[in-house]
């Protein structure tokens, strides 16, 4: 099990995903224009809606795309992403060392993309059909954020990641037990599967007749037909004071208000979809891509790029429910990070892509 990257993880005081019934960004226009330091960090006053009202506000029905999606829904689970050319990366990198630039033109053939992050329910089908054991289960432990752990589990841990002491290797933590042996997913079957390594993600996608998206495909999907925008929906983090992603609100690292409704993960169908009809592309769970990690990129136009031929880490995209702008401003389409292929953690999942659709999809 490889250590999580130190720069990606946040203190999360809440113990469980909690629906707080708080839906609106409490600072009008939070997030502002491109490059502004907005976080929806609207801790001063919360929305006053009831849980039921907030649940409706973020339901699939209430958040149906207001404009026709440019991707085409195929069956219930995948979207046909049209061939096209887009600007990958940015010439205004927010995190220089991550290799977000340069902006370069990338041409892609048509492909298919999962509408949602792979959920616990979907992953369970795979495990039930194959008996697959994830790497976290084989290793016997996985990384969990300290703030998610019970006191009993914490007292049994005597080791931490030196560079990121808030991440603890928890014995018995895996996709079925995200916070260790005394936790389960019975109330989170529609949440993204966590504690899956890159190798686990590949195994799932192959079983499903799919594959992991390349980084270029993921980013193109993230942008939803928009050019040079920060987020899948535009440049404002909270347009019309509405939350569009599950990230962190509050004062890092002491207070996660859960203003967007979730201190932990959210259901994979929560929050409005982007222009291609994809949900939770940024935020909620980090998503593995197929590519090896590198930080230097050619500015030349490329056609269906697949990243470096080899490497030590794989690219992950989108940030997670633990991302706050002050620490991990990586819930942008151009943002990126990396882990070794055998890494697993309580904020890292995936979705699949495909070149063709099987009849069963």
- Least Å distance, CB 317 to Ca ion, is 8
| Cβ proximity of 164 and 12 under 8 Å | no
Q: Which stretch binds Ca ion (CB under 5 A): 180-188, 210-218, 273-281, 296-304?
A: 273-281
| Cβ proximity of 100 and 334 under 8 Å | yes
Q: Which stretch binds Ca ion (CB under 5 A): 5-13, 34-42, 174-182, 243-251?
A: 243-251
- By the rule CB under 5 A, 219 interacts with Ca ion: no
Q: Which two tokens stand for residue 181?
A: 């042996």
- Least Å distance, CB 256 to Ca ion, is 7
| Cβ proximity of 122 and 361 under 8 Å | no
Burial class (CB in 10 A: 0-12, 13-18, 19+), 296: exposed
- By the rule CB under 5 A, 262 interacts with Ca ion: yes
- By the rule CB under 5 A, 274 interacts with Ca ion: no
| Cβ proximity of 77 and 208 under 8 Å | no
Residue 21 Rama label (left phi>0; alpha psi -120 to 50; beta):
left
- By the rule CB under 5 A, 134 interacts with Ca ion: no
- Residue 208 vs 348, nearer CB to Ca ion: 348
- Residue 193 vs 354, nearer CB to Ca ion: 193
Interacting residues of 96 by C-beta distance below 8 A, sequence separation 6+:
none
Interacting residues of 128 by C-beta distance below 8 A, sequence separation 6+:
none
- Residue 100 vs 141, nearer CB to Ca ion: 100
Interacting residues of 136 by C-beta distance below 8 A, sequence separation 6+:
1, 142, 173, 174, 175, 195, 196, 197, 200, 344
- Least Å distance, CB 296 to Ca ion, is 26
Measured distance CA(303)–CA(285) in Å, rounded: 28
- Residue 49 vs 102, nearer CB to Ca ion: 49
| Cβ proximity of 80 and 71 under 8 Å | yes
Binding mask 280-309 for Ca ion (x = CB under 5 A): x---xx------------------------
Q: Which stretch binds Ca ion (CB under 5 A): 23-31, 126-134, 153-161, 321-329?
A: 321-329
- Residue 46 vs 107, nearer CB to Ca ion: 46
Neighbours of 151 (CB within 10 A): 7
Q: Which stretch binds Ca ion (CB under 5 A): 54-62, 68-76, 231-239, 260-268?
A: 260-268
| Cβ proximity of 302 and 288 under 8 Å | no
- Owner of token pair 């031929």: 309
- Least Å distance, CB 319 to Ca ion, is 7
Give phi and psi for 289, each to the nearest 5.
-120, 170
* Residues forming a β-bridge with 292: 314
Number of chain residues interacting with Ca ion (CB under 5 A): 8
Q: Which stretch binds Ca ion (CB under 5 A): 20-28, 93-101, 261-269, 326-334?
A: 261-269
Binding residue (CB under 5 A) for Ca ion from 17, 275, 318, 341: 318
- Least Å distance, CB 257 to Ca ion, is 8
- By the rule CB under 5 A, 246 interacts with Ca ion: yes
- Least Å distance, CB 193 to Ca ion, is 12
- Least Å distance, CB 301 to Ca ion, is 28
In angstroms and rounded to an integer, the radius of gyration of the C-alpha atoms of the chain is 19
3-state secondary structure of 2: coil
- Residue 242 vs 284, nearer CB to Ca ion: 284
Q: Which stretch binds Ca ion (CB under 5 A): 18-26, 99-107, 145-153, 257-265?
A: 257-265
Q: Which stretch binds Ca ion (CB under 5 A): 134-142, 229-237, 254-262, 340-348?
A: 254-262
Q: Which two tokens stand for residue 163?
A: 């560079």
- Residue 142 vs 256, nearer CB to Ca ion: 256
- Least Å distance, CB 155 to Ca ion, is 27
- Owner of token pair 């990338």: 106
| Binding residues for Ca ion (CB under 5 A) | 246, 260, 262, 280, 284-285, 318, 321
């Amino acid at each position: 099990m490889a250590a999580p990257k130190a720069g990606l993880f946040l203190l999360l005081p809440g113990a469980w995903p909690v629906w707080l019934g708080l839906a609106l960004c409490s600072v009008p226009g939070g997030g502002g224009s491109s490059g502004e330091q907005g976080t929806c960090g609207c801790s001063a006053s919360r929305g006053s809606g009831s849980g039921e009202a907030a649940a409706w506000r973020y339901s699939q029905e209430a958040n149906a795309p207001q404009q026709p999606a440019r991707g085409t829904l195929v069956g219930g689970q995948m979207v046909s992403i049209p061939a096209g050319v887009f600007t990958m990366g940015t010439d205004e990198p927010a995190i220089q060392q991550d290799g977000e630039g340069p902006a370069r033109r990338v041409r892609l053939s048509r492909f298919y993309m999962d509408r949602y992050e792979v959920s616990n329910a979907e992953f369970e089908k795979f495990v039930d059909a194959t008996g697959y054991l994830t790497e976290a289960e084989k290793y016997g432990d996985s990384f969990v954020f300290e703030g998610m752990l019970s006191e009993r589990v914490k007292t049994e841990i005597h080791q931490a990641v030196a560079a990121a002491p808030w991440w603890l290797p928890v014995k018995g933590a895996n996709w079925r037990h995200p916070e260790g042996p005394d936790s389960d997913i019975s109330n989170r079957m529609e949440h993204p599967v966590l504690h899956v390594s890159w190798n686990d993600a590949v195994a799932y996608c192959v079983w499903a007749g799919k594959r992991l998206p390349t980084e270029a495909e993921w980013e193109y999907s993230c942008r939803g037909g928009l050019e040079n925008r920060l987020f899948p929906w535009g440049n404002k983090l909270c347009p019309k004071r509405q939350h569009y992603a599950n990230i962190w609100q509050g004062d890092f690292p002491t207070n996660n208000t859960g203003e967007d409704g979730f201190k932990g993960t959210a259901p994979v169908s929560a929050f409005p979809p982007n222009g291609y009809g994809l949900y939770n592309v940024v935020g909620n769970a980090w998503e593995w891509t197929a590519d090896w990690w590198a930080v230097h990129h050619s500015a030349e136009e490329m056609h269906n790029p697949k990243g470096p031929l080899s490497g030590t880490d794989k690219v992950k995209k989108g940030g997670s429910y633990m991302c706050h702008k002050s620490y991990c401003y990586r819930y942008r389409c151009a943002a990126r990070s990396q882990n070794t292929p055998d890494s697993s953690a309580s904020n890292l999942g995936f979705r699949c892509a495909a070149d063709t659709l099987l009849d069963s999809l």
